[in-house]
Structure 1
Amino acid sequence: MTQAGKGPQSNSLLEKVFKLSQNNTDVKTEFIAGLTTFMTMAYILAVNPILLGDPNVGMDKGALFTATALAAIIGTLVMGFLANYPFALAPGMGLNAYFVYTVCLKMGYSWKVALAAVFVEGIIFILLTFFNVREAIFNAIPQSMKHAVGAGIGLFITFIGLQNAKIIVDSATLVELGDVTDVVPFLAIVGTIITGILVVKKVKGSILIGIFTTYVLGIIAELTGWYVVDPEAGMLSLIPSSLFSGPPSIAPIAFKLDLSQIVSVNFLIVVFAFLFVDLFDTLGTLIGVSSQANMLDKDGKLPKIKQALFADAIATTAGALLGTSTTTTYVESAAGVAEGGRTGLTAVVTAIFFGIALLFSPIFLAVPGFATAPALIIVGFMMMQSVSKIDFTDAREGIPAFLTLVMMPLAYSISEGIVFGTISYVFINAVTGKAKKVHPLMYVLAVVFILKFIVSK
């Protein structure tokens, strides 16, 4: 039975393409759902250029803005038309932090090599999806570590947000609390509280609203003289030169892949880390959001998951060519599903709004790091919720999971968390009589990670 106002539209092109009546929805519902999804994830247009545009990395922020939007448009359109699911894609949080702070700044690779790793990851993901190897990899990793990876990334990006806002600063003890009465950390704290209140109130687009509220408060602080423009200190003017503009060129970063390191062990570790996080983040998002939308079948499986995974893999590959970090399915798609989105038309509408956003680049590019810090902190909180699914009473599972999540922020590296978690899981279980419990692939990974330490010594 269809809902009122959602009857058959068999003569409509949209009905034929997206099967609206079959999914008990209509164009109006899908439009509202698509706009809602865009509102909840548009913060990436401000956050991604700031993270990847770190001065020590050397990527052009304007080009990154355009690449971020285009990657989101391509990935979301492919998802909408290929899988007919209301899921949206964009460069993933956590994965962009790994790209910058681990691959580039810690391991010393150029951003061009990092893009090559993302590209290779995308190609591998396409092949894994085509040959149905996804299940084998998914089943090899213990559930406790899967949850720990999400929680660890949450801690990591929260730490980055606190640093960007100067709430946490360097010190003789490595880190300490900054001067929270100063304008930048003070505004970031206010923005975080505002965003938190909006999240509690379940306001649509709460993270995006929080970013721009903090940004507006910054502009007021600049106009009143509290925020003093000082380019040498990184205090740039917060007032955009204009409201509308054509999208910045992606020429500085597009198709700049450097594949010269492709045969090195460290490069393979980087590729695996990208693949690991993207694989499980995507699967978790697809299952979670589709469950909310009652899309799972009686066996708990998602029909056309192969097409959805293809869309994700294609988006990652295309995003790398455009010049951005791993593009993945966004859990914020749940907001659109909650508004009634049930088909790929929701995804198409979301993609259209990303296209419109390209015209507002001066606004998004003027948003400072302290204004996006609340988004990093709140998204970190959301990702940390997976820690509740870890059984810490079972030390064989709990210790590797614990090492996985704490090593990510403390070692400033997502991959090091995965390495420590994998090695400890294999050894603890093998030595305590549970060797058969460990999947053979985990032994292979442990050996590879140990060799990584030896080779990089």
Structure 2
Amino acid sequence: MSLETFFKLRESGTDVRTELVAGLTTFLTMAYIVFVNPTILGDAGMPKEAVFVATCLAAALGTAIMALYANYPIGMAPGMGLNAYFAYAVVLGMHVPWQSALGAVFISGCLFVLVSVLGLREMIVNGIPRSLRTAITVGIGLFLALIALKSAGLVVASPATMVTAGDLHQPTVLMAVFGFLLIVTLDRLRVKGAILIGIIVVTVLSFFFGGNTFKGIVSAPPSLAPTFLQLNVQGGLSMGFLNVVLVFFLVELFDATGTLMGVANRAGLLVEGKMARLNKALLADSVAIVAGSALGTSSTTAYIESAAGVQAGGRTGLTALTIAVLFLACLLIAPLAGVVPGYATAPALLFVACLMLKELGEIEWADTTESVPAAICALVIPFTYSIAEGIAFGFITYAILKLTTGQARKVKPIVWVIAAVFVFRFAWLH
């Protein structure tokens, strides 16, 4: 069977060359994750070289499933925000072994599979107010921004004010600032792979001004053994379903659904506002989460950067298959990934965070029963260093304000259930 026939290229108004170019375009916009993810999970004590391999394999596997099963031009990789929550809130903040945190990711992935198979996703997502879905995205953006500013040295701890400005005379700080401005400039000029270029340029500068040591570019892939099948499912359950698993599940669900619908809409693949193969795409997403946890990385999700490939003409799974092959090729650049310093990936994190804040415009600010819970959710996430706390405060505030203003009937049952679950968590589990 030819590529033309398998991916229905002619029916989708595309051809092999267009799909290959679109795949390369998307890959360049999301390849930064192979440098950023090992840095973040490495902070949680995970072996960075093994995480690098797990990142490449999880991205390749998830994207290949999206290509061959769902036939959509959407790339997948470990998600930004969820990796930060995994490392800084769960492992470092709650003092949970990373093996148990991987177990929680595995359980959330299994729940996602179940919801996708049973077709419950639409009911859950439609039941969550748009203001809260938006607030979670904005809150994660602020969370990433705080982590990025800390990694860059622009924000440091202060006993008097909790946080304060860092030493702007340090070469590492100046390189991070330069990297961020470079990324924004290149993105504005529509240079493909702007984030990736920014990371590489700062890494090169680190050899001259940061005391970094060059170790080569190409080598055989490191061993995956330190993270492969190291997840502790029992440990994941012992942390408490409400503390970690529910948060992973909710964010994965909103993130994946929103991204899939957004990219499909830009590609003109929606029919009467619906994706014909949405459940297949979600199932591909959820299977990738389960597989990624087994390989040794945080939750895998669909990437909004896939819109770049769609803009270049990508319409079918051949675009995604191209991305998958390129992620496999990344396994050979482990030495380069190993020398990328934290202040080189910080500008990428900050840029992604800035892009996530544009969702603020989606909130209905005139209705305070919608905007205040959204604001609470978005603010509590970075200030408590926890996505879980932000979601909890957001849902509880939303339910209470709708109740006290006589709008209880407008609230979908799923909101009451989630709010009650978080109230139970605060009242009895702490």
Which TM-score applies when normalising by structure 2?
Answer: 0.98
Matched, 1:290 2:264: yes
Q: Which amino acid aligns with 1:260?
A: Q
**1:170 aligned counterpart, secondary structure:** strand
- What root-mean-square deviation, in Å, do the aligned CA atoms of Structure 1 and Structure 2 show? 1.2
Give deviations 1:130-183, integer Å, cap 9, x for gaps.
111101111221100011111111111011011001110011211000011211
Counterparts of residues 348-427 of structure 1 (less than 5 Å): 348-427=321-400
Distance in 2 of aligned mates of 1:314 and 1:405:
29
Per-residue deviation, 1:344: 0.4
Counterparts of residues 8-23 of structure 1 (less than 5 Å): 13-23=2-12
Select the residue among 207, 216, 219 that pairs with 1:242.
216
- Whether the aligned pair in 2 keeps the contact of 1:262 and 1:268 (CA below 8 Å) is no
Distance in 2 of aligned mates of 1:264 and 1:138:
27
Match of residue 123 from structure 2: 136
Counterparts of residues 102-121 of structure 1 (less than 5 Å): 102-121=89-108
Match of residue 273 from structure 1: 247
Q: 1:35 to 1:93 in 2, by over 3 A?
A: same
Match of residue 182 from structure 1: 170
- Whether the aligned pair in 1 keeps the contact of 2:59 and 2:327 (CA below 8 Å) is yes
Per-residue deviation, 1:396: 0.3
Over the matched positions of the two proteins, sequence identity in percent amounts to 46
Match of residue 277 from structure 2: 304
Aligned residues: 429
Q: By percentage of residues, which structure has more helix?
A: 2
Match of residue 201 from structure 1: 189
Q: 1:263 to 1:88 in 2, by over 3 A?
A: closer
Select the residue among 16, 22, 26 that pairs with 1:27.
16
Match of residue 69 from structure 2: 82
Structure 1: gaps spanning 5 or more residues: 1-11, 222-226, 230-237
Match of residue 254 from structure 1: 228
**1:169 aligned counterpart, secondary structure:** strand
- Whether the aligned pair in 2 keeps the contact of 1:102 and 1:412 (CA below 8 Å) is yes
Give deviations 1:181-217, integer Å, cap 9, x for gaps.
2111110001000111011112111111111111112
**1:319 aligned counterpart, secondary structure:** helix
Give deviations 1:99-156, integer Å, cap 9, x for gaps.
0111111122111111011101111111101111101111221100011111111111
Which TM-score applies when normalising by structure 1?
Answer: 0.92
Per-residue deviation, 1:220: 2.4
Select the residue among 292, 295, 305 that pairs with 1:322.
295
- Whether the aligned pair in 1 keeps the contact of 2:104 and 2:237 (CA below 8 Å) is no
Distance in 2 of aligned mates of 1:261 and 1:21:
49
- Whether the aligned pair in 2 keeps the contact of 1:419 and 1:449 (CA below 8 Å) is yes
- Whether the aligned pair in 1 keeps the contact of 2:141 and 2:353 (CA below 8 Å) is yes
Distance in 1 of aligned mates of 2:153 and 2:335:
24
Matched, 1:71 2:58: yes
Match of residue 448 from structure 1: 421
**2:349 aligned counterpart, secondary structure:** helix
**2:93 aligned counterpart, secondary structure:** coil
267-276 or 300-309, larger mean C-alpha shift: 267-276
Distance in 2 of aligned mates of 1:368 and 1:148:
31
Give deviations 1:321-357, integer Å, cap 9, x for gaps.
0010000000000111111111101101111111111
Per-residue deviation, 1:264: 4.6
Structure 2: gaps spanning 5 or more residues: none
**2:228 aligned counterpart, secondary structure:** coil
Per-residue deviation, 1:17: 1.1
- Whether the aligned pair in 1 keeps the contact of 2:180 and 2:348 (CA below 8 Å) is yes
